Amino acid sequence: MEGADAVAHGCTGKGNDQVRFELTYKAFNPKLHVIAPWREWDIRSREDAIAYAKEKKVPIKATKDKIYSNDRNLWHISHEGGDLENPWNPPKEDMFVLTKSPEEAPDEPVFVEIGFEKGIPSEINGDPMEAVALIESLNKIGGENGIGRADIVENRLVGMKSRGVYETPAGTILYIAHRELESLVLDRDTMHFKEMLAPKYAELVYNGAWFTPLREALDAFVESTQQNLTGTVRFKLYKGNCIIAGCKSPYSLYREELATFGKEDVYDQFDAKGFINLFGLPLKVRSLVEIDWGIKPDYSKPDYSKFKRD
């Protein structure tokens, strides 16, 4: 649209963000020339970058006293650098932007209900909301109650470890809510397979491989799993804790008449005997063969003499 023949970004030569940006450039226009000052100029540290900005009268929030690298978007804010580079140092409280500490959070719990339509969060406490407003609202509610802080050491794509502190109140609430609703709606095999694919999907996103055939193929699978993911999840938010307080869906596979220990006609408990016999057949055959061969079992008998009654 701009007719540009080059693009620039401010990423350092050590981060993952440079990879994410430039893989995107390559996907749309591999002929673009990339200008990355951190990799081409004499800037080698955050102190150098702050001095350059001061010299050129570029307004920035970072100072040599608060030298953190902060990246913020709708979803989260990240903090890196400075004293955080030593993983033994706890993050300072004045660094946080979106969240209160659990100690400063209200003494009374807050209850929140999140509604989903086909896997997409669509309402808070019964009020329909568009995506941006919904996330902004949950960021405020969750942040006030100390929800969403994460302090991690990550394995960067470029080969080094890096420590970062993140604030994502809305992301934390939505992740837990979505997972809870899936546990109610998805069948066992689909849910287990989706959980196996999740780390690979996260790896693709983390490594900047968004515009790839594999990510598109995984999206098709995930979209299929979300067709019946409609329902409501209720939370109790209290001093940094995001506690499930209820979940319901018209497509729930949970049935009380099956789960109950009371009398019912749907599930015949006598059938469990045959199921266990078939499920345990490989173990039984192995044990019988070892007996025929004169081999002792691998499992030693417990020594009950150690457990004496007073």
Mark whether 230 and 212 lie in a shared domain. Answer: yes
Total domains in the fold of the chain:
2
Mark whether 35 and 125 lie in a shared domain. Answer: no
Mark whether 167 and 42 lie in a shared domain. Answer: no
Mark whether 90 and 60 lie in a shared domain. Answer: no
Alpha-carbon span 228 to 185, nearest angstrom: 7
pTM: 0.83
Q: Considering only 73-82, 245-254, 290-299, which range has the smallest mean pLDDT?
A: 290-299
Task: Check if the beta carbon of residue 222 is closer than 8 Å to that of residue 229.
Answer: no
pLDDT of residue 43: 80
pLDDT of residue 183: 96
Which CATH number covers residue 50?
3.40.50.620
Work out the mean pLDDT of the chain and round it to a whole number: 91
Residue-range definition of the domain harbouring residue 19: 1-67
Q: Considering only 40-44, 180-184, 300-304, which range has the smallest mean pLDDT?
A: 300-304
Q: Measuring CA to CA, which residue among 149, 121, 153 is closest to residue 135?
A: 121
Mark whether 123 and 246 lie in a shared domain. Answer: yes
- pLDDT surpasses 80 at 65: no
> What is the b/e burial string over 177-196, where b = at least 16 CB atoms within 10 angstroms of the residue's CB?
bbebbbebbbeeeebeebee
Alpha-carbon span 66 to 171, nearest angstrom: 26
Mark whether 120 and 184 lie in a shared domain. Answer: yes
pLDDT of residue 292: 82
Give domain status of residue 81, yes or no. Answer: yes
What would the pLDDT profile of 139-164 be if each residue is shown by its tens digit? 999 999 999 999 999 999 988 999 99
pLDDT of residue 281: 93
Mark whether 120 and 3 lie in a shared domain. Answer: no
- Banded model confidence at residue 264, pLDDT cuts 50, 70, 90: low
CA atoms within 13 A on the CB side of 217: 7
Mark whether 141 and 241 lie in a shared domain. Answer: yes
Best-predicted range by mean pLDDT among 61-65, 224-228, 276-280? 224-228
Give domain status of residue 275, yes or no. Answer: no
pLDDT of residue 262: 61
Mark whether 92 and 192 lie in a shared domain. Answer: yes
What would the pLDDT profile of 111-125 be if each residue is shown by its tens digit? 999 999 999 999 999
Mark whether 126 and 85 lie in a shared domain. Answer: yes
- pLDDT surpasses 80 at 108: yes
Mark whether 90 and 182 lie in a shared domain. Answer: yes
Phi, psi of 124 (to 5 degrees): -125, 125
Identify the residue whose tokens are 């226009």. Answer: 29
Give domain status of residue 270, yes or no. Answer: no
Give domain status of residue 206, yes or no. Answer: yes
Mark whether 6 and 111 lie in a shared domain. Answer: no
pLDDT of residue 11: 87
Give domain status of residue 279, yes or no. Answer: no
Which CATH number covers residue 83?
3.90.1260.10
